[in-house]
């Protein structure tokens, strides 16, 4: 994607009532040790639902942690399959 072509707008400049805050009910912060453990267990084959139970996190939070790690090249097995 051409970064020069992206235009960012302040919510205040265009009206906050026209936007929705996404995933506002989720916790985006993970201790480094927990993120590393989730990554290691995922790479070892543990199911995402089991990871959510182990760490008492919403499954969507675990997915976002794995997505974050995948973008950094730390995930060795697929998170989702292509359709």
The answer, yes or no, to whether residue 33 has pLDDT greater than 60, is: yes
**Distance from first CA to last CA of the chain, Å, rounded?**
23
The domain locations on the chain are 21-83
The pLDDT score that the predictor gives to residue 73 is 96
The answer, yes or no, to whether residue 15 has pLDDT greater than 90, is: no
Q: Is there a contact between 39 and 75 (Cβ–Cβ < 8 Å)?
A: yes
Q: Where are the alpha helices (DSSP H) in 1-83?
A: 11-14, 32-43, 48-55, 59-71
The pLDDT score that the predictor gives to residue 21 is 81
CA distance 64 to 70: 10
CATH topology of domain 21-83: Arc Repressor Mutant, subunit A (1.10.10)
Kindly state the average pLDDT of the residues 14-39.
87
Going from the C-alpha of 12 to that of each of 6, 8, 9, 17, 18, the distances in angstroms are 18, 12, 8, 9, 10
In this prediction the pTM is 0.75
Residue ranges of E strands in 1-83? none
């Amino acid at each position: 994607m051409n970064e020069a072509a992206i235009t960012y707008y302040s919510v205040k400049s265009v009206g906050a009532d026209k936007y929705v805050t996404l995933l506002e009910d989720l916790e985006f912060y993970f201790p480094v040790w927990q993120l590393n453990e989730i990554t290691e267990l995922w790479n070892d084959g543990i199911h995402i639902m089991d990871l959510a139970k182990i760490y008492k996190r919403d499954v969507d939070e675990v997915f976002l942690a794995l997505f974050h790690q995948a973008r950094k090249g730390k995930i060795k097995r697929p998170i989702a399959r292509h359709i």
